[in-house]
Structure 1
Amino acid sequence: MPEKNYISLDYSFKSELGDIQERRYIQEVLLTINLMDENGGKVEKIGHAVFFVLHIDHAIDDNYPIFQVLDGYSEYLSRHLLEIIDLDMEEFAEDIQEYYQSSFYNTNVCVIQELSIFPKFRGYDLGAKAIKDIIFHFGKSFGLCVLQPHPIQFDPALEMKLDIEKMGIVDLEKDEALAFEKLRNYYLRMGFEAIEGFEEVLFFNPIFQNDAIDQISLDEDPF
């Protein structure tokens, strides 16, 4: 691999005019991770992430029902979010408030749905760097980042995923319990936190210093 290659993280999202109701408050972002040559040309795509920023604060300001924002877009988004946010109080659930001492930038939520690095580029901490880059660019936009560690090889909607032929699914862990444990521990080492009562999801609050996240360097490009 030529020494002049470098990594580019490219973000894209769209918005619409018109009466789009709850979708007005849900920003879906695609992060494409590309290997670039020394002239800025794309060599190949090497991974991607998909995440959502739910603009709960905007919905509250507009008197738009939070329930519809959390429940009206996709089953994936609503599965745990209705437990994470107290609809009556229009704030995070009491257990989460206590864990983080009621300290948040806002009530917006980032949901990381998918993160994938293609096989020959694994082992360079690119997944961790992608997460830190997301937090760097979007961290002041949300009060909590939430993810459900779910190995992609066991996703029932696998055939609908991006770049499935490049993900090296056949080489991933085949023991489901072990795969879940490995992925959960991966995100815990990265700086995400488990809160009692929310067994399936992990959290990151960008308002607090996080030593694990701080140790991930964006100044080091492995290529």
Structure 2
Amino acid sequence: MTIRIVIAESLPVVRRGLAVFLKTQEDFEIVGEAANGEEAAKLAEELKPDIVLMNPDMPIMDGIVATSKIKDLDSSSRVMVLTNFSNQNYVYQVIKAGASDCQLMNIKPGELAASIRRLVASEILPPAKPAPYLQSGSKSVKQVDGLTKREREVIREIASGKSNKEISSVLFITVKTVKTHVSNILAKLGLDDRTQAALYAVENNLEK
């Protein structure tokens, strides 16, 4: 199966770098490149790719609006956000707009390729509506209150984009202990992965 991809990135160097790497993967085909959100939405409508790699900080039409338009035009095209988490509110809004996954911009090439394949294979499903953890309300507050002090520290570091090894160094605990805390956090909050945990932290002001 060939995975058809549109790259939406305003910086030519980054866009070209992504294209060069992705073209080395036999099952990937770059069908279009967009320098702004408006172009991304237009290409998604015309080409109907499997994946749109989206930088949320886009000119003319930002990634939030572009993602929403793409999902309205063709729900079969999935949006994967690539961000450095410098603006976490952007990430949260793009996920609400219909993005299916979110990865850090400094993700290793092999991991990016694997994430794209998992997304197309439906291991990460695009939500039909905002997931419960993105909605405000007493349930959310109650879940937050259920986190221990250490778990709050861990989820705060997850929201900042740190890896388990980096969290281990910052909090002076072992990587194994970090993994245990992450598992407990996901279980308590009813989340599926670290991306959801980071977004939950933003929504509930735990990243501060």
Q: TM-score, normalised by structure 1?
A: 0.23
Task: Name the larger-Rg structure.
Answer: 1
Q: TM-score, normalised by structure 2?
A: 0.24
Greater relative contact order (CA < 8 Å, ≥ 6 in sequence): 1
* Structure with higher strand content: 1
